[in-house]
């Protein structure tokens, strides 16, 4: 005959001839429930399955009878109990290890937003830096051009004044230009903070370039080519601009000049011919004396750009950290609730109908917990009705 465990539904084939006495008892190897077998008991007829939720254990809904000879059960041993626990554990629902809900939430709501926000922030910072660089570079170029034009205008204006004075004083010898205060004030004027103008003569038949009005009286009348040695590396650039002037053509350009403190700086010089004479007015100065206020403004703009970039990075970083913390906390709570319901469902599936379900929230997960609780009650009632019918 077939004996069925009322607790878990496991079936055993028992030979009545091997039962000593009126009844025998043994422990179910699956769930550990004690089972009593009466010798005179006939094999139970098949029981109609009781309507219940589809996820209920098969043990509560089917009872089949079949007569087949079998050996009598022996009292359960420790090894039998151990095997029963293993079988019970094997009956639990197991799912393949895949990407969990929490990991998916971190990817969808944290990792992807991080990448998007970081990319957008990086592009914004790059555009901000490019815009700042473009504006400052163009501003610097524009100021340099304005300074060059201003120096050129000064040179041409002084050349025009010298032309007028020379025509008005034809008896004044060129050797007296630097000694005559009136002419010297016209020919030697201040350019910027440290710059100045000077008057020199185009070379004659001897091919010598000479200066006749200058802030430094030591070079008056000397061959300017003799300055090659004292000027050193600065002479080549200076000489290129100095000798590039023609009677009807202005010469201008940059050259490196060594200051009294030993530092080398770029100077800008414009040489404008004096109309109606063999003379030339040279106006030279450091352009940074004109562009220094703009350079300060450019430096302030760069600092402001760096400050804005740092603030933006702080905002983006803080936003990402906040998103990460919120997603992590919420994901942990959701997954813990789902894990609790999963464990409860697994316990119910192996016959532990007293498993406690605690999820009273009003969201979808709470509705799932209530559905599992109703299923648990339905299975319990179905098993009680089945025991009463038997």
Instruction: Tell me the pLDDT tens digit for each residue of 135-193.
Output: 777 777 787 888 899 999 999 999 999 999 999 999 999 999 999 999 999 999 999 88
Provide the 10 A C-beta neighbour count for residue 96: 4
Report which DSSP code applies to 40: T
Identify the pLDDT of residue 83: 52
Identify the pLDDT of residue 268: 93
Closest residue by Cα to residue 156 from 56, 272, 245, 268: 272
| Alpha carbon distance 281, 155 (integer Å) | 6
Beta carbons within 8 Å of 370's beta carbon, 6+ residues apart: 359
| Alpha carbon distance 100, 28 (integer Å) | 36
Q: Which residues on adjacent β-strands are paired with residue 220?
A: 211
Identify the pLDDT of residue 264: 81
Identify the pLDDT of residue 99: 65
Closest residue by Cα to residue 136 from 306, 368, 295: 295
Domains and CATH numbers, the chain: 101-350 (3.30.450.20)
| Alpha carbon distance 369, 362 (integer Å) | 10
Coil vs helix vs strand at 12? strand
Place of tokens 């163009």: 138
- Spell out where 231-299 has E strands: 251-258, 264-273, 279-285
Beta carbons within 8 Å of 100's beta carbon, 6+ residues apart: 335
Beta carbons within 8 Å of 121's beta carbon, 6+ residues apart: 312, 313, 316
**C-beta of residue 18 within 8 angstroms of C-beta of residue 3:** no
DSSP 65-97: ------PPPPPP-HHHHHHHHHHHHHTS-----
pLDDT in tens, the chain (390 residues): 777 887 777 778 777 777 777 778 888 877 777 888 887 544 444 334 434 444 433 433 333 333 444 444 444 455 544 554 454 454 444 444 566 666 777 777 767 777 887 787 778 778 877 777 777 777 777 878 888 999 999 999 999 999 999 999 999 999 999 999 999 999 999 998 889 999 999 998 889 999 999 999 999 999 999 999 888 888 999 999 999 998 788 999 999 887 777 778 889 999 999 998 999 999 999 888 877 777 777 788 778 878 887 888 888 788 878 887 887 888 788 888 888 888 888 888 877 777 777 766 777 888 888 888 888 888 888 888 888 887
Provide the 10 A C-beta neighbour count for residue 313: 14
| Alpha carbon distance 1, 282 (integer Å) | 128
Closest residue by Cα to residue 37 from 62, 9, 13: 13
Identify the pLDDT of residue 79: 53
Identify the pLDDT of residue 360: 63
């Amino acid at each position: 005959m077939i004996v069925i465990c009322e607790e878990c539904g496991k079936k055993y084939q028992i030979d009545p001839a091997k039962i000593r006495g009126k009844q025998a008892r043994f422990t179910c190897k699956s769930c550990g429930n004690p089972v009593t077998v009466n010798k005179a008991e006939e094999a139970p007829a098949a029981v109609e399955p009781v309507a219940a939720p589809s996820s209920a254990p098969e043990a509560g809904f089917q009872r089949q009878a079949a007569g087949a000879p079998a050996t009598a059960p022996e009292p359960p041993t420790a090894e039998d109990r151990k095997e029963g626990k293993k079988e019970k554990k094997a009956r639990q629902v197991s799912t393949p290890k895949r990407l969990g809900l929490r990991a998916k939430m971190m990817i969808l709501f944290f990792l992807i937003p991080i990448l998007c926000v970081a990319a957008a922030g990086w592009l914004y910072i790059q555009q901000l830096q490019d815009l700042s660089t473009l504006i400052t570079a163009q501003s610097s170029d524009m100021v340099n051009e304005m300074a060059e034009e201003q120096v050129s205008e000064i040179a041409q204006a002084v050349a025009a004044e010298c032309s007028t004075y020379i025509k008005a004083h034809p008896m004044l010898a060129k050797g007296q230009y630097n000694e005559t205060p009136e002419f010297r004030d016209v020919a030697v004027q201040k350019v910027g903070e440290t710059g100045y103008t000077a008057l020199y003569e185009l070379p004659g038949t001897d091919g010598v370039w000479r200066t006749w009005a200058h802030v430094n009286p030591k070079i008056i009348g000397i061959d300017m080519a003799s300055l090659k040695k004292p000027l050193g590396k600065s002479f080549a650039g200076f000489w290129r601009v100095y000798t590039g002037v023609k009677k009807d053509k202005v010469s201008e350009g940059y050259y490196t000049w060594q200051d009294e403190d030993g530092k080398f700086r770029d100077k800008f010089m414009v040489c404008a011919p004096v109309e109606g004479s063999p003379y030339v007015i040279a106006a030279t100065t450091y352009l940074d004396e004109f562009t220094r206020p703009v350079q300060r403004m450019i430096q302030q703009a760069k600092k402001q750009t760096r400050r804005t970039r740092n603030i933006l990075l702080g905002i983006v970083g803080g936003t990402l950290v906040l998103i990460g913390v919120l997603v992590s906390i919420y994901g942990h709570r959701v997954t813990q609730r789902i894990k609790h319901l999963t464990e409860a469902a697994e316990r119910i599936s192996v016959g532990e109908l007293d498993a406690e379900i605690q999820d009273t929230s009003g969201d979808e997960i709470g509705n799932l917990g209530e559905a599992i609780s109703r299923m648990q009650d339905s299975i319990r009632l179905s098993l009680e009705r089945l025991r009463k019918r038997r």
